[in-house]
Structure 1
């Protein structure tokens, strides 16, 4: 009997403790709302690619594309300004991946590959190129926000990204390499023959760009969003010159969020 009494008491104490904690959280949220602060947790995925703009003449045709699965998790603090609180500032922290796989037919494409003996061969490639790109980032967007209506919010501004891991690799096949220059010695790869390449160590660790998007409040706390992230600097380091044109990450982030 005493055990049952003690068990009931512990259950009651636990319920009271949870109610007090919930009450404290509610008070904090109410106080934040008074000061024009709003908090949001978001989850979604990135769809897009890393591409030169415009496509250079060396890339004659895109023969295949796969966006892969790229997840993003983000936490935002929104500070609303003015009496009507229609304008605001968003500061976010996002953990995300960006990636893709492509197949392209090229001509005189600057390339450095590994030969059958592991030796490096550098020159101009004519033929098929398969590329895999995948990278993880910590990104910090700083955005201006405007309430188009009570349910619709627009946002735009810059972001910075710090790369935590990266892979840019692939292989060439069904073509030939002119060593050192477009009229150099021809090295053929035909049939099932292929040669790998890997530029992962040449990826830049710091990226920046601009972001613009729209958020729709579907329910009281549930939001649906779409944000376009457009990188403005090359994904490769400044001294990397094997690929002769800049490549920019351009991705659309689609997902949902919970606002407090």
Structure 2
């Protein structure tokens, strides 16, 4: 008797779980259908950012770019898409993206404005001639607000502005195989040769707020699976306005490629 009651209880729990799952699925389907009637779509996307922070054009102080590595920069994004009119060809996209951007680069410079950290922790500033290795990495919350055009049922184009809020950041590196003229190009000469290097760190000078423009394409490969490519171009310097050591602006330019799920 006790065994039969246990079996009955397990069956009741299983049936209740199945019923709740079916009800949740039905509610979700009903919500998606209602959203579609109002011209709303939802999608989640994941991707990687490939690019870097660069001055435009390259200043005369940078004589050559000797190496570049984009690093692995991930992004996760959720979008709400609102289509307008009966044809639903035009609309707009509001999104929220959590992402990282970064790179490593090595360059040969001449009279490059620099502030380095000496062996005793002292800071020396002036004009650097020689090799510079840079590491940049930052994490952002990004909000794109885009106009969208549906070319056909599979292909969608989008473009518009975005704003980003930095949550963490690192801009550092070291100089080597060269010399620093303290103060100005005719100042005291401090030489770094062989294995001698001098680090620098401008992480505290990174700007918290970034804005720019974004343009991209999304293709619906299957009913729910999408693939995309978006170019983001920052329009303000990654450094604070009052930061004077680096004398030219650096703009984050990245291509985001990935896939998504459309509801």
Instruction: Please tell me the TM-score bracket, short chain as reference.
Output: over 0.9
Of the candidates 243, 250, 261, which is equivalent to residue 258 of structure 1?
A: 261
Q: Does 1:86 align with 2:109?
A: no
SS in 2 for 1:25: helix
SS in 2 for 1:80: strand
**Deviation of residue 117 (structure 1)?**
1.2
Q: Does 1:180 align with 2:183?
A: yes
Q: How does 1:47-196 map to 2 (within 5 A)?
A: 47-196=50-199
Q: 1:137-172, CA deviations, whole angstroms, 9 ceiling, x for partnerless residues?
A: 000000000011111000000000000000000000
What's the C-alpha RMSD, in Å, of the aligned pairs? Answer: 0.4
SS in 1 for 2:21: helix
State the alpha-carbon separation in 1 of the partners of residues 84 and 26 from structure 2.
27
2:249 corresponding residue in structure 1: 246
**Deviation of residue 236 (structure 1)?**
0.3
State the alpha-carbon separation in 2 of the partners of residues 176 and 142 from structure 1.
47
2:214 corresponding residue in structure 1: 211
**Deviation of residue 51 (structure 1)?**
0.2
Return the TM-score normalized by structure 2: 0.98
SS in 2 for 1:241: coil
State the alpha-carbon separation in 2 of the partners of residues 254 and 94 from structure 1.
13
1:228 corresponding residue in structure 2: 231
SS in 1 for 2:30: helix
**Deviation of residue 116 (structure 1)?**
1.4
Question: What is the aligned residue count?
Answer: 260
SS in 2 for 1:72: strand
Q: Does 1:197 align with 2:200?
A: yes
Of the candidates 6, 22, 32, which is equivalent to residue 3 of structure 1?
A: 6
Unaligned runs of 5+ in 2: none
SS in 2 for 1:31: helix
State the alpha-carbon separation in 2 of the partners of residues 253 and 137 from structure 1.
14
State the alpha-carbon separation in 2 of the partners of residues 71 and 109 from structure 1.
32
**Deviation of residue 2 (structure 1)?**
1.1
State the alpha-carbon separation in 2 of the partners of residues 37 and 121 from structure 1.
57
SS in 1 for 2:29: helix
**Deviation of residue 191 (structure 1)?**
0.3
State the alpha-carbon separation in 2 of the partners of residues 149 and 107 from structure 1.
52
